Amino acid sequence: MDSVIGVPRPRTDSPEKVSGATRYAGDDVLPGLLHGWLVLSTEAHATIVSIEKEAALAVPGVVAVLTADDLPVVAEGSGRSNEPLARSEVVFSGQPIALVVAESEAAAEDGAEVVMVEYESLEPVLDLEGAMRPGAPLGRHPGEEDASGMESVHAAVGAGEQELPEEELSGNVLKRSFREEGDLEAAFETSDAVVSGRFETSWIYQSYLEPQTATAWIEPGGVLVVSASTQGAFMSRNELADLFGLPLDKVRVRAAPLGGAFGGKLMLVEPLAAGAALVLGRPVRLLLTRSEDFQASNPAPAAIFELRVGARRSGELTGLDARIVCDRGSTIEWGLEDISSTLVGGPYRWRAFAIRSYGVQTNRVTFGAYRGPGAPPAAFALESLLDELAAQLELDPIEFRLQNAVVEGDVGVSGRAFPVIGARECLERVREHPIWLERNSLPEDEGVGVAVGYWPGGNEPASAACRLDRDGRLTVVTAVADMTGTETTFAAIAAEVLGTTPENVRVVAADTASAPFAGVSGGSKITYTVGRAVERAAEQARERILYVASEELEIAPSDLEIVDGVVRAVGSPDRSLSLEEIAQKALAWGGRYEPIAGQGGVAQPSSAPAAAAHLAHVRVDHETGEVEILRYAVAQDVGRALNPALVEGQMRGGATQAIGWALYEELRYDEHGQLVTGSFLDYAIPTAERVPQIDTLIVEVPAPSGPFGAKGVGEAPVVAGPAAIANAVAAATGIRPRQLPMTAPRVWALLQEASTRTETPPA
């Protein structure tokens, strides 16, 4: 039988999806369903003086107006995870303040419209650098309870981090970290070129097409059930139990089919729907409108990267000096500054480095994960400067990168050794691509850029279960929220192990009451971890199948094989039993065999970093500043492409989101902290007419412990895209964009500035 690994196959959920039959979190029909509508703060920083509910309660159909005091929250401390509705201090415009619950969506909206909130305004903290200065107003007034929830500025030193030098900083700096190795100044002194730059990136909205949605109800026995657009059923269950003080067995969470997530769907709406259902005892659905989702979810945060890098004429990279400031918005629970400080070194070897990073609170929305959190800005800064170094030293940009690219065992700026990584192989692939080969024979307003980036890969213990049903088909059960087609891949993995076809494997995403544990779908780890668990569960089922067959056929298990769903003797295929026959024997009344089942678990020894190199071919309209992507290619190391169609889908989707980062996307806040790009009318994501067909080059450098060598593929294809496009714009124009997105007005302004410079005679 041919292997099913490496064969392109449509997602198994395709027929439902093309027929409109898939039931997303907002599609379930429940008797007596109530609808929630949020009242959001119109102030970026304020104290709530009063909330008037009466007018809303008088609207026909309105059942309740819930505020923070009404929710049965037992968790203390501030921060959004403990405070689904603002208690007293509002820390961002768009923060949920009240939830109106009504018999219809229209009535709920009518009610929400007349909830009157009185505020006492406080000064909003919006300027990132300004917020850090000693004496700056604080974005959040520290309460007594915050001592436990907030990380101190002198927080514990993590892996690879070192003692912090003294600095005068305001209390808005929630976290600092410092990494240092080697003699940086000596490294710069021995360099033949040193370049530096300050790079800025914007708040970026995940833009999943399905707004955040949760439906909650109470089942007999007082079990809170939540069906939500969530990336992590178990994580949501645990956090809901903590928030409301419920035993774990009184909370059941089901991850509904996701209409896109990209890191952003975790515990924003679940607590609100659940809280309302607990209070009212009826099913409640909260479905964010797009405008609310823009204002009140958790986009990727803005960052500032100040970098200085050096290299020798030989092409050897020397020193890296970095100062990184990450906007946390109003998030106090965690920050991206740590991960940014490890990613800023790229997949390269450095003689010496010093990396300082800061997480700063401002009065903007809470931030969240978005595909490769922290990575695209880091790559944008570093890969831009690497191109400048290459130009100054007259080195080929790809050869220069190849010369310094890490291989397994090289220690990165994180202080840890890199596991197997295919950065070099990706660069070697794009080196041969027509886009690169033709880069020097283009019209004057066109250019090609290259960049490479990587994602370290997530790692979390995971498990899976399977059973052989009486029809001879295997049912695999996991708790995974399927983001990238993982269920389709699990079916192929199990089929390959078992010796059957993927059509004979069904994969079920069960809720937290019955599924084996799996963590959040995020960090590019599901295939790498749960996929391995599925493989092991299927191996166990296979052993039991062979045992039954061995007993029945009186042939040693080692002399049996499973081909096309039939167990047969190696060399004499007429002595055989089908999986269906075996299943029936193992499920028979009074039978002598255990039911065929398998349990698999995994705790991977290391993560599996994935690298990707991008090529962008752009044309820049010098009159308008508009950048058009003419051709695009991505080479990515995926370990092993279990299903090339799905892998390519991730590569193209990631590259397209990179185009959004590079050219269009930006959540802009005005001087009062109000979001001014809060709809798809103002916030541009790439449309079909703005992206080309994207060429994919699959590189396979197997991950030693991944299923069949596979590693995660979701994050890597977004990382280096903005940098490649910036390098292409530089090649086409000679200007060096230092800010994302490179909108037409910004590129035009840079072109104007450059032409003024060249027109001005030297002094």
Footprint on residues 231-290 left by other proteins (CB under 8 A) = 257-262, 287, 289-290
Q: Which of 69, 144, 394, 689 binds other proteins (CB under 8 A)?
A: 689
Coil vs helix vs strand at 164? coil
Cα 179 versus chain centre, distance: 25
- Binding residue for other proteins, selected from 83, 89, 239, 648, defined by CB under 8 A: 648
Binding mask 594-633 for other proteins (x = CB under 8 A): -----------------------------xxxx-------
Interface mask toward other proteins for 112-141; x: CB under 8 A: -x----------------------------
Return all residues near 660 (Cβ < 8 A) that are at least 6 apart: 204, 207, 684, 685, 686, 741
Q: What SS3 state is found at 23? A: coil
13 versus 410: smaller Cβ distance to other proteins: 13
Least distance from other proteins to the Cβ atom of residue 209, Å: 4
Q: Least distance (Å) from other proteins to the CB of residue 484?
A: 7
Residue closer to other proteins, measured from CB, 193 or 694? 694
Q: Which stretch binds other proteins (CB under 8 A): 155-163, 275-283, 401-409, 681-689?
A: 681-689
Query: Please, what is the minimum distance in Å from the beta carbon of residue 282 to other proteins?
Result: 17
Of 391 and 684, which has the nearer Cβ to other proteins?
A: 684
- Taking phi first (over 0 means left), then psi (-120 to 50 degrees means alpha), and beta for anything else, what does residue 749 get? alpha
Told to check if 684 binds other proteins by CB under 8 A, we report yes
Interactions with other proteins, residue window 713-752 (CB under 8 A)? 743-745, 748-749
Measured from the CB of residue 507, what is the shortest distance to other proteins in angstroms? 16
Question: Does residue 207 belong to the site contacting other proteins (CB under 8 A)?
Answer: yes
Question: Looking at beta carbons only, is 10 or 158 nearer to other proteins?
Answer: 10
Task: Write the DSSP string, 416-437.
Answer: SB--S--HHHHHHHHHTSHHHH
Task: Establish if 661 lies at the interface with other proteins (CB under 8 A).
Answer: no
By the rule CB under 8 A, 442 interacts with other proteins = no
Stretch that binds other proteins, among 22-30, 388-396, 527-535, 597-605 (CB under 8 A): 22-30
- Decide if residue 19 touches other proteins (CB under 8 A): yes
Tokens of 532: 């391995």
- Distance (Å, whole) CA 666 – CA 620: 20
Does 521 contact other proteins by CB under 8 A? no
| Candidate list 3, 682, 734, 755; residue touching other proteins; CB under 8 A | 682
Query: With respect to other proteins, which residue has the nearer C-beta, 158 or 257?
Result: 257
681 lies in the site for other proteins, by CB under 8 A: yes
Q: Does 58 bind other proteins (CB under 8 A)?
A: no
- Give dist(CA 92, CA 295) in Å, integer: 9
Residues in 177-206 at the binding interface with other proteins, rule: CB under 8 A:
206
Per residue in 111-128, is it b (16+ CB within 10 Å) or e — as a string?
bbebbebebeebebbbeb
Binding-site size for other proteins (CB under 8 A) equals 82
Interatomic CA distance for residues 77 and 662, integer angstroms: 38
Q: Which is nearer to other proteins, 510 or 691 (CB)?
A: 691
Q: Contact at 8 Å (CB) between 565 and 500?
A: yes
| CA–CA distance, 336 with 322 (Å, rounded to integer) | 15
Q: Cβ neighbours of residue 20 under 8 Å, at least 6 residues apart?
A: none
> Considering the rule CB under 8 A, would residue 649 count as an interface residue with other proteins?
yes
Q: What is the per-residue DSSP string for 123-143?
A: -----HHHHHSTTPPPSSPPP
- Closest residue by Cα to residue 573 from 587, 559, 583, 584: 559
CA separation for the pair 23, 234 (Å, rounded): 21
CA 522 centroid distance within chain: 5
For residue 556, state whether it binds other proteins (rule: CB under 8 A).
no
459, 475, 469, 474: which is closest to 530 by C-alpha?
A: 459
Footprint of other proteins on 84-103 (CB under 8 A): none
Q: What is the DSSP string of 593-649?
A: SPPPEEEEEE--SS---EEEEEEEEEEE-TTT--EEEEEEEEEEE-SS-SSHHHHHH
Among 7, 24, 539, 559, interactor with other proteins by CB under 8 A: 24
Is residue 663 at the binding interface for other proteins, with CB under 8 A as the rule? yes
Residues near 306 by beta carbon (within 8 Å), at least 6 away in sequence: 196, 197, 198, 199, 322, 323, 324
* Shortest Cβ 450–other proteins spacing (Å): 19
Q: Which of 74, 676, 734, 753 lies at the binding interface for other proteins (CB under 8 A)?
A: 676
